[in-house]
Homo-oligomer: A and B are copies of this chain.
Amino acid sequence: MSDTSYPQTDLNKVKQTRVRATYDRDIVHAILDEAYVVQVGFVVEGRPQIIPMYGIRDGETMVFHGSRKSRFMRKLADGVALCLNVTHVDGLLFGRSAFHHSMNYRSVVIHSVGRLAREEEKARLAIAVTDRFAEGRYADVRGTAANEMKATDFLIVPIENVVAKVRTGDPVDDKDDLDLPHWAGEITVSRAFGVPRAAKGLKAGIEVPQNLIEKYGE
């Protein structure tokens, strides 16, 4: 298997709707890179728990951060089995029959175990999680102070046992239904960003930075 694909393992082998599964690295990365929130699943006293968290891809890892005080990152890094999910809904599919209504989507599931970032890794990760909002953002603001860095834990989760599922295209109606007089097709779903809105009390004369305008529009 080339390095353009992730390996198939016991944990990411797809049993259902195999036709939609892909292990392609570029596709996996693209889906992850579009997310702001990652669903993080773990087991607590035998029960499933899902926490939605801000997460970014950093090479072949996903990176999360949180308050050291809460000790939550520490708990998740303590050899705990994690399941990560990112899902984007791309379209609502209207079939000629109720049964063949469906959705276009892209999703990634990862089964992995995380570790806490070491102190010497944290400065770079603080930049990465900030620059995810806009390239160069970290350099434009007050950088992370020593006490803030100390108060923050970063959780690094390798991208492994990973599989993406992607559905695109038309609804698939039964042949016998194709001539029915019912409209069939797709209504796409996408993400829209608003016009940058200044925080209350922002000092007069501070313009919206160019990198935000370039990324999100005016």
Contacts and interface: CB of A to CB of B under 8 A. Distances in A.
A189 B191 CA distance: 7
If over half of A's interface residues share one DSSP class (helix, strand or loop), that class is named, otherwise mixed; here it is mixed
A171 interface: yes
Copies in the complex: 2
A169 to B, nearest CB: 9
Nearest to A47: B81
Interface residues of A, number: 91
A113 to B, nearest CB: 11
Nearest to A216: B187
A61 B139 CA distance: 47
A133 to B, nearest CB: 6
A30 interface: no
Interface of A: 11, 16, 36-37, 39, 41-43, 46-52, 54, 70, 72, 81-85, 87, 89, 91-92, 94-99, 101, 103, 105, 107, 109, 111, 126-127, 129-130, 133-134, 137-138, 140-145, 148, 152, 170-171, 173, 177-203, 206-209, 212, 216
Minimum-distance CB pairs A-B, first 9: A188-B194, A41-B48, A52-B87, A97-B142, A192-B192, A50-B85, A184-B199, A48-B83, A185-B198
